[in-house]
Structure 1
Amino acid sequence: MSIVRKAPTGILGFPTAPYKEDGSLDVPALTANIQFLVKEGLSSIFIACGSGEFHAISKGEYQVMIETALKAADGKVPVYSGVGGNISSALELVQLSEDLGVEGYLILPPYLITGEQEGLYHYYKTILEHSELNAILYQRDNAILNLPTLQRLVDEFPQIVGIKDGHGDMELNLEITQTLGDRLEYLNGMPFAEITMPAYLNIGFRSYSSAMSNYIPHISRLYFDALQKGNQELVRDIYVNVLLPLNKIRKSKKGYAVSLIKAGMEIMGLGVANTVRPPIVPLSEDDYRDLESVIKATLERYPIESKESIRS
């Protein structure tokens, strides 16, 4: 098997799981979501991960989402799937992902249990031994690898191409980046990653997952370009006038990290409704109106250079 051992870099696309009025998966809306991300220049598609409500979809829906992503991406960008949860399910999803033809997978935290480092090592080891596909580890919630455990896994499994951080321990991040260097690609996976990217970029993180790209990708591009070029004035302007207001809404209720994306897409007329599956709740009417105001102000300050526009 000939596999390029390289993780995606730049702005990473994380599509949603759109639903119809009856609660079933809306495949045409998912296709449009993915095609939009590819058209807008995102470097990759990570399907059925956190933004795609991995926790709430069935195995059948999972397969449909991957098949849809591969067809919609059409080989233009790599497609990674999300795997995780209990170890038996994780192995099934890895095999299914490989059979369907993804380039790699992101390992989400194991279900509920907070294990010791040795237990986490064996959780990841069991998954990694199951496939030669590229794998990205995820520092989040109940799955935080310390440097010795990560070093042990990286030494044993060349298919580990990156580590995504959604935990925010900068001391640990520095230990990892300074020790492992260019052996891995480092991905900022913090909730609303744009908020922390000024700090992460300076310690070797060249990539981040952008939920905002699902509805205002031109802001993600503008912001990331300003960060890379050291345009601090533009970085601060976007940070204060766009990111902070959006983040204030996101932090107001648990689960809004997903709900905010769908509401933003609906506001932008992108064919996804403000609907999520329990236990996540949709944006309240007040928060929805606040989001409309923030997006409208954003588009007035940073117009889209195309025919796209906010709904009237």
Structure 2
Amino acid sequence: MSLRQSLRGTGVALVTPFTSSGKIDYSALESLINFIIKNGIEYVVTLGTTGETPTLSKEEKIDIVNFTYEMVDGRVPVVVGIGGNNTNELVNDLEQFPLDKAAAVLSASPYYNKPSQEGIFQHYKALAAASPKPIILYNVPGRTGRNMEASTALRLAHEVNNIAGIKEAANNMVQCMQLLKDRPENFLVVSGDDDLVMPQLACGMDGVISVAANCLPRKFSDMVRAGLAFDFKKAKELNDTMLEAYHLLFAENNPAGVKAFLAELGLIENHLRLPLVPLSQGLRQKVHDYLMK
């Protein structure tokens, strides 16, 4: 089965729950993994940006990956996030991280350095050569400061072995359509913008790596499956009920929004690591009100 087939649908970019003392709350992480799988998501993504990876040590990251494998226990595929702006360090991580049970590696485009398109191409070419698993590109210019143009992603897709897909989060529908028009047949294209998933599915995307599906897994994954089946009447009905949630999830910061939702659901404690802080009280009340509807 190709990666495009096995990762079709809704992947969840897992949060990293913390205790009040700032340690990783593995009990809460276990509860969250069971919650989302029980409610119908198709795969799990660990160590994404939503997992506050910039604040995790290398040892913590490796422990989280191993724990995730153990808790998922083969029920759904697991994708591991390994991204950053130091290419040589990432090559070492790809050799050292436990990736034997991973379906793929999700790697965010280099941030802060603002490389040229050629620099982005060479960065991913080096990662693809080092990785024991297929690489999924991750374009998120709102965080990285540099857009990976469709032409660069397509060049990687066509010219570099082991580049198997892209999570596209540029909030640009035209760029999405360019990717979908010229991608190789088995090249996975998924959304990274929860609020745009429904129209992107209409354009031909294969699904999403979602933040919202942490806290709304059943409704969100049902919406995605409806869109993939081109039942856009049902998809729109479900999506309309989540529009307010999308706003609340990203109004101040991700994952502050989704952690507030999960805390209201009783799945985690509402703690983040600095420089991130919990959602402001006014928005937290709106999250509570939304979930009580």
Q: TM-score if structure 1 supplies the norm length?
A: 0.85
2:126 matched residue in structure 1: 126
- Unmatched 5+ stretches in structure 2: none
Specify which of 263, 284, 287 is matched with residue 283 of structure 2.
Answer: 287
**Residue of structure 2 aligned with 1:183, choices 167, 182, 186:** 186
Instruction: Decide whether aligned partners of structure 1 residues 53 and 71 sit closer, same or farther in structure 2, where only a CA change above 3 A counts.
Output: same
Which is worse superposed, 17-26 or 212-221?
212-221
Q: In the TM superposition, what are the counterparts of 1:266-277 in structure 2 within 5 Å? A: 266-270=263-267, 272-277=268-273
Q: Is the 8 A contact 2:111 2:146 kept in 1?
A: no
Q: Which string of whole-angstrom CA distances, capped at 9 and with x for unpartnered residues, describes residues 274-303 of structure 1?
A: 111122221112211110110111xxxxxx
Partner of 1:302: none
Q: CA deviation at 1:162?
A: 1.1
User: In the TM superposition, what whole-angstrom CA distance separates every residue of 1:192-233 from its partner, at most 9, and x where no partner exists?
Assistant: x1x212210121112112222222222113322443455555
Distance 1:266 1:150 in 2: 37
Q: CA deviation at 1:100?
A: 5.1
Matches within 5 A, 1:69-108: 69-85=68-84, 86-99=86-99, 101-108=101-108
One-letter code aligned to 2:290: V
Matches within 5 A, 1:207-218: 207-218=207-218
Q: Distance in 1 between matches of 2:157 and 2:234?
A: 38
CA–CA separation in structure 2 for the residues paired with 1:239 and 1:222: 10
Q: Which has the higher contact order (CA 8 A, sep 6+)?
A: 2
Query: How many Å apart are 1:99 and its aligned residue?
Result: 4.9
Unaligned runs of 5+ in 1: 298-312
Which residue number in structure 1 is paired with residue 152 of structure 2? Answer: 149
- Pick from 1, 6, 9 the counterpart of residue 3 of structure 2: 6
Is 1:200 the equivalent of 2:200? Answer: yes
Q: Look up the equivalent residue of 1:87 and give its one-letter code.
A: T
CA distance in 2, matches of 1:232, 1:178: 21
For the residue of structure 2 that corresponds to 1:129, the secondary structure is helix
Kindly state the Cα deviation for residue 152 of structure 1 after the two structures are TM-superposed: 2.9
The equivalent residue for 2:161 is: 158
CA drift of 1:180 comes to 1.6
How many angstroms apart in 1 are the aligned matches of 2:177 and 2:213? 27
Provide the rounded CA distance (Å) in 1 between the counterparts of 2:149 and 2:262: 37
Question: Which structure would you say has the larger Rg?
Answer: 1
2: CA distance, partners of 1:236 / 1:74: 33
Give, as a single letter, the amino acid of the residue that structure 1 aligns with 2:205: F
Give the equivalent residue in structure 2 for 1:38: 37
SS of 2:16's partner is: coil
Q: CA RMSD in A?
A: 2.0
Distance 1:161 1:140 in 2: 17
**Distance of 2:32 and 2:58 partners within structure 1:** 21
Residues 164 and 186 of structure 1 are in contact (CA less than 8 Å); yes or no, is this contact kept in structure 2?
yes
Contact 2:251–2:257 (CA under 8 A) maintained in structure 1 = no
2:140 matched to which residue of 1?
A: 140
Give the conservation status (yes or no) of the 8 Å contact 2:249–2:258.
Answer: no
